[in-house]
Amino acid sequence: MKTLSLILLAMAFTQVHAQQNQPHPSAVFEYRMLPVTTREMAEVRHLMNWPTKTLENFHVEQLDLKATESIELDDDKEMLVLVLNGALQLETDNSTEVMEERSIAWLPRNKNFKMAPQNSSASVYLIRWDVDGDANKVAVDRPEAKIFHYDAMDFQETAKGGRRAVMREETETLQELEMHITTLKEGEKSHDPHVHADEEIILVLQGHVAEHINGTEYQLGPGSLVFLSAYDPHGIRNVGEGECEYYAIRWITAKTGK
């Protein structure tokens, strides 16, 4: 019930403040509770399309691709494409690659890309963002897409589980984009609740987790997403049977820490 309450709180926030451009609060989105919109080639779940404390706009949606026909990705925003289930064929400027489950791609702005399920279907997350004028001043020349294959990631085992480092570098509009995958053994927590200036999302790949935000616990299953606003105390632990695994994606802009 707490998960549903926070989803409804986030929706209410969007409706009440639609004309005020207030930063989106920390929120959880339980995958099973997300409303679905059916399109010709996909089922779509909309999560966020709103400013945050560090971003001019943050847009997150999940697509279940059913058709074999490719979908074009042509946007003036940087983008992440994360494969939740199935396999995705992604066509970039220089190559066509198949992304297996739990793989992720970073796509630069103002380029044409195409994606299609490798077989009959694929489930993906699309994550886009805008920054303000000051943050755009940190732009670097990084025109080529970057694809990170899950099977090629180095797994570093720890006492609590393990970690796969994905990316930590400057992008076209971000001073730093850092992504990693955490594996937690049954009953383990990543860390005690803490705060930081950079914002973050958590995307659950496997198992069930409890996310603590500002002293309240919310339980989430596979496919669910957590948005953590700057300076909100948060922590996560594995509350299911067996291991859990999740993406952690954080970013730094010129507004971070202000």
pLDDT at position 94: 77
Question: What is residue 1's predicted lDDT score, i.e. its pLDDT?
Answer: 34
The share of the chain scoring above pLDDT 70, in percent, equals 87
Domain extent listing, the chain = 2-252
Q: Among positive and negative, which fits the CA dihedral 227, 256, 103, 160?
A: negative
The pLDDT of residue 12 is above 80: no
Instruction: With a cut of 60, say whether residue 11 has pLDDT above it.
Output: no
Interval 145-193: pLDDT, tens: 999 999 999 999 999 999 999 999 999 999 999 999 999 999 999 989 9
Domain 2-252: CATH architecture, name and number where available: Sandwich (2.60)
- Among residues 134, 142, 70, the alpha carbon closest in space to that of 110 is found at 142
Is the entire prediction scored with pTM above 0.75? Answer: yes
pLDDT at 18: 45
Residue 8 is predicted with a pLDDT of: 39
CB atoms within 10 A of CB 126: 19
Q: What is the tens place of the pLDDT at every residue in 76-109?
A: 899 999 999 999 999 987 789 999 999 999 999 9
